[in-house]
């Protein structure tokens, strides 16, 4: 077991080509994320934090630890937390939420009545997306008697999930939230100098968070999904992994269910039985 705390000056530690190839291959095997040579500097910079924490002087030492039985047990999750990208915002790509409330939800209510809607925020990062969904659907519920929903939010990073569960955000991050929703769903800290807000308990209660790796054999989803938000996630995978992942999403979707992708993502050319119904929104064929 390595002691925490910097025992060496390693801010300039660099990976050899062999070490990078070994590490990038391992990352791909563990979570499907492609790590081309162009990301070598980024990977070095992020993992140097672990070298300092573990008191290691170079990447060879870190690699030997990572691939040891103890490292596999204790370090892999830490490493994945650092190498995954976690960019997110409240009301990101707002046209998706307009389409959701104007088209998808009314149609769903007409078809299913009072059955509870099941939503999955796949790759939820620090929680802004599932809490945005909870706001939008709570507003819709006030206009639609009997409508109810539940949101599952998952991410591979335990670090961002902790932040999501805590649901505390800097005021600078909530500017995309419309003023009337800020007043309704955000609590300001009693310490005004902290400039922090927290999602109200009623909204937090609508979202369940857990860790999930898209390469897991079992997603742990025990009922079919009506809506999946998986935006700006599959772009980090290579094409074969994208196709396998989207096929698995499809298998967990109810007939007629929708999946929302990121603005830079497309299913064009992928062998997945989903049809386009709106820019970067797809539907499972009935």
pLDDT in tens, 15-46: 888 889 988 888 888 877 878 898 888 888 88
254 is catalytic: no
Q: Which candidate in 50, 81, 155, 231 is catalytic?
A: 155
pTM, two decimal places:
0.80
Q: Which candidate in 22, 46, 159, 248 is catalytic?
A: 46
pLDDT at 209 over 60: yes
In CATH, 17-83 is 3.50.50.100:
no
DSSP string, 191-215: SGGG-EEEE-HHHHTTEEEEE--TT
> pLDDT, tens digit, for every residue of 158-193?
889 999 999 999 998 999 999 999 999 999 877 777
Domain boundaries, the chain: 17-83, 94-284
DSSP conformational letter for 173: G
Q: In this structure, are residues 125 and 155 in contact, taking their beta carbons and an 8 Å threshold?
A: yes
The fold of the 94-284 domain, in CATH, is Rossmann fold (3.40.50)
What pLDDT, on a 0 to 100 scale, did the predictor assign at position 75? 86
Sheet with strand 168-170: strands edge to edge: 168-170, 196-199, 186-188
Sheet with strand 117-122: strands edge to edge: 207-211, 149-155, 117-122, 225-230, 253-261, 281-284, 274-278
Average pLDDT taken over every residue of the chain: 88
Find the distance separating the first CA and the last CA of the chain, reported in whole Å.
Answer: 54
H or E element at residue 72 = helix 69-74
Residue 271 burial (CB < 10 Å; 0-12/13-18/19+)?
exposed
What pLDDT, on a 0 to 100 scale, did the predictor assign at position 120? 97
46 is catalytic: yes
């Amino acid at each position: 077991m390595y002691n925490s705390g910097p025992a060496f000056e390693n801010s300039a530690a660099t990976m050899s080509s062999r070490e990078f190839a070994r590490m990038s291959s391992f990352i791909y095997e563990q979570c499907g994320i492609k790590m081309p040579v162009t990301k070598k500097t980024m990977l070095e910079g992020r993992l140097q934090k672990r070298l300092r924490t573990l008191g290691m002087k170079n990447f060879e030492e870190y690699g030997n630890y990572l691939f040891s039985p103890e490292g596999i047990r204790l370090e892999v999750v830490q490493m994945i937390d650092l190498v995954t990208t976690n960019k997110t915002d409240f009301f990101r790509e707002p046209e998706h939420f307009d389409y959701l409330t104007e088209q998808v939800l009314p149609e769903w209510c007409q078809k299913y009545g009072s059955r509870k809607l099941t939503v999955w925020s796949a790759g939820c990062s620090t929680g802004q997306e599932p809490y945005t969904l909870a706001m939008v659907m709570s507003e819709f519920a006030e206009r639609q008697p009997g409508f109810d929903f539940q949101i599952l939010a998952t991410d591979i990073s335990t670090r961002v999930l902790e932040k999501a569960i805590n649901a505390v955000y800097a005021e600078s991050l909530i500017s995309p939230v419309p003023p009337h929703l800020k007043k309704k769903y955000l609590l300001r800290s009693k310490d005004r100098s902290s400039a922090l807000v927290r999602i109200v308990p009623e909204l937090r209660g609508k979202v369940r968070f857990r860790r999930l790796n898209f390469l897991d054999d079992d997603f742990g989803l025990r009922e079919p999904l009506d809506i999946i938000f998986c935006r700006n996630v599959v772009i980090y995978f290579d094409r074969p992994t994208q196709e396998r992942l989207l096929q698995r999403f499809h298998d967990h979707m109810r007939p007629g269910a929708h999946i929302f992708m990121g603005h830079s993502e497309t299913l064009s050319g992928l062998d997945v039985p989903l049809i386009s119904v709106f820019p970067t929104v797809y539907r499972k064929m009935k």
